[in-house]
Amino acid sequence: MSIPRFGFVVTALVYAMLLFAEYLRPGFVSTALNVHLLLLVLAAWLVALAREERVGTENTVYRFPLFIVLLCAILLALVTWNIGGVFGDMRLLFSVGVGILVIVVLRSSRFTSLS
């Protein structure tokens, strides 16, 4: 996954999660952040994605193993649950959101072999 595509996906997920949190508890997000400013970031990622050149490479592409991705997601979700007492009844939503975000980030991360 390219950097502009990755940035677009992560920003869209964060935007959707914050809108959902705002829907569940009005004022929870909007007191500190205007969520719709993320639409400007989404537009910038779309422009970068549109300008990206598609070039084929012959490098070997590796991905993180699914076991490591799930382990990291579970661990970070548990850490978010334990530290997230300030979120109140939104703690479950944020813990699940962190777990999903970790899975999206690590499964889309690839590293190449230049051999």
Residue with tokens 């072999």: 113
* Whether 51 and 61 share a structural domain: no
pTM, 2 dp? 0.51
* Whether 60 and 106 share a structural domain: yes
Number of neighbouring beta carbons within 10 Å of residue 29: 19
* Whether 50 and 7 share a structural domain: yes
* Whether 1 and 36 share a structural domain: yes
* Whether 7 and 35 share a structural domain: yes
Per-residue pLDDT band at 101 (split at 50, 70, 90): confident
Q: Please state the domain count of the chain.
A: 2
DSSP, residue by residue, the chain = --HHHHHHHHHHHHHHHHHHHHHHSTTTTTTT--GGGHHHHHHHHHHHHHH--------EEEE--HHHHHHHHHHHHHHHHHHGGGGGGGHHHHHHHHHHHHHHHHHH-EEEE--
Question: Which residue range(s) make up the domain with 7?
Answer: 1-55
Report the mean per-residue pLDDT for the chain. 78
* Whether 49 and 14 share a structural domain: yes
Per-residue pLDDT band at 115 (split at 50, 70, 90): very low
* Whether 25 and 67 share a structural domain: no
Per-residue pLDDT band at 109 (split at 50, 70, 90): low
pLDDT in tens, 38-89: 888 888 888 887 777 665 555 555 666 777 778 878 888 888 888 877 778 8
Taking the C-alpha atoms of residue 64 and residue 51, their distance in angstroms, rounded to an integer, is: 28
Is pLDDT at 6 greater than 50 in this prediction?
A: yes
Is pLDDT at 90 greater than 80 in this prediction?
A: yes
Measured in degrees and rounded to the nearest 5, phi and psi for residue 33 equal: -150, 140
* Whether 65 and 46 share a structural domain: no
* Whether 37 and 61 share a structural domain: no
